[in-house]
């Protein structure tokens, strides 16, 4: 698995967040009632998420960058929710435990322009909410694949370091006697000496001795 695929996921997540930001801010020209401080907080958190998701596009393979991408998706969104809860703290206990998750926690996770007290069901099926959900999914998937890629690369580098190459296995140590070239030279000299003995005994001719000698010495 190469870092190209996680990099593409991070790029897609950043693009989706950008599109979601444009869509969330488009109603500024249609409804003046939405011009409140929560709206500006929502714009700020979206911009922060895009900014934090930008580095993984170019730096995939770093575990810190993958962690930053996950943090940017969740922590920033929770900070936005905390500000919203503080603003409407008096309504917190009016919904009960189930209503707290339905009207606060779930919308906080997925809705860019989250407004406290708005039903999760009525918000989740908006187009901007779908985009945010897809962006979160791609960001998390890209982070997981990044961790897997880094882990596999580390394992490969470790195995290569533990297993010496074939060429290194055949290199003689300093404690061994002669170097390979010296060994080959000694074998060639021994063969030539044996041929000389055969020549002295008359078992081969001078011409055969010269031919064999040139072949052994590579002349």
Count other Cβ atoms within 10 Å, centred on residue 169: 8
Q: For residues 48 and 205, what is the distance between their CA atoms, to the nearest angstrom?
A: 93
Instruction: Tell whether 130 and 93 lie within a shared domain.
Output: yes
Nearest 5°: the CA angle 8, 9, 12 is 85
Mean pLDDT over 71-100 rounds to 57
DSSP state of 101: I
Instruction: Tell whether 152 and 201 lie within a shared domain.
Output: no
- In-domain check, residue 208: yes
Instruction: Tell whether 47 and 102 lie within a shared domain.
Output: yes
Highest mean pLDDT among 16-25, 57-66, 89-98, 118-127: 89-98
Instruction: Tell whether 110 and 197 lie within a shared domain.
Output: no
Instruction: Tell whether 187 and 141 lie within a shared domain.
Output: no
- In-domain check, residue 168: no
Q: For residues 14 and 97, what is the distance between their CA atoms, to the nearest angstrom?
A: 34
Give 43 or 142, the one with higher predicted confidence: 142
What is the per-residue pLDDT for 193? 84
Whether the pLDDT of residue 209 is over 60: the answer is yes
What is the per-residue pLDDT for 97? 65
For 36-88, the DSSP string reads SHHHHHHHHHHHHHHHHHSHHHHHTT-HHHHHHHHHHHHHHHHHHHHHHHHHT
Domain count, the chain: 2
Instruction: Tell whether 101 and 142 lie within a shared domain.
Output: yes
pLDDT in tens, 4-46: 565 555 555 555 555 555 555 444 444 444 444 444 445 555 5
3-state secondary structure of 126: coil
The average confidence (pLDDT) of the chain is 58
Closest CA to 145 of 75, 56, 71: 56
* % of the chain exceeding 70 in pLDDT: 16
Q: For residues 202 and 87, what is the distance between their CA atoms, to the nearest angstrom?
A: 114
Task: Indicate whether this model's pTM tops 0.85.
Answer: no
Mean pLDDT over 107-128 rounds to 47
Instruction: Tell whether 12 and 97 lie within a shared domain.
Output: yes
Q: Which of 52-56, 133-137, 188-192 has the lowest mean pLDDT?
A: 52-56
- In-domain check, residue 72: yes
Give 190 or 97, the one with higher predicted confidence: 190
Q: Are 90 and 107 in contact (CB under 8 A)?
A: no
Containing structural domain, residue 206: 179-217
pLDDT in tens, 144-202: 666 666 666 666 656 545 554 444 443 444 444 444 444 467 777 788 888 888 888 77
- In-domain check, residue 169: no
Mean pLDDT over 83-108 rounds to 59
Q: For residues 122 and 161, what is the distance between their CA atoms, to the nearest angstrom?
A: 57
């Amino acid at each position: 698995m190469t870092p190209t695929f996680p990099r593409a996921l991070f790029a897609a997540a950043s693009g989706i967040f950008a599109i979601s930001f444009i869509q969330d801010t488009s109603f500024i020209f249609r409804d003046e009632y939405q011009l409140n401080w929560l709206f500006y907080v929502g714009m700020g958190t979206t911009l922060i998420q895009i900014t934090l998701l930008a580095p993984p596009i170019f730096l995939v393979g770093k575990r810190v960058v993958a962690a930053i991408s996950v943090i940017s998706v969740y922590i920033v969104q929770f900070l936005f929710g905390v500000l919203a809860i503080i603003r409407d703290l008096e309504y917190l206990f009016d919904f009960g435990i189930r209503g707290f998750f339905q009207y606060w926690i779930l919308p906080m996770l997925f809705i860019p322009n989250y407004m406290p007290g708005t039903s999760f069901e009525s918000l989740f099926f908006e187009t901007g909410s779908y985009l945010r959900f897809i962006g979160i999914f791609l960001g998390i998937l890209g982070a997981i694949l990044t961790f897997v890629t880094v882990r596999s690369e580390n394992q490969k580098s470790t195995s290569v370091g533990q297993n010496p190459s074939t060429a290194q296995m055949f290199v003689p140590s300093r404690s061994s006697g002669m170097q390979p070239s010296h060994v080959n030279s000694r074998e060639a000299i021994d063969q030539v000496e044996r041929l000389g003995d055969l020549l002295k005994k008359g078992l081969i001719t001078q011409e055969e001795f010269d031919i064999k000698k040139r072949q052994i010495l590579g002349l």
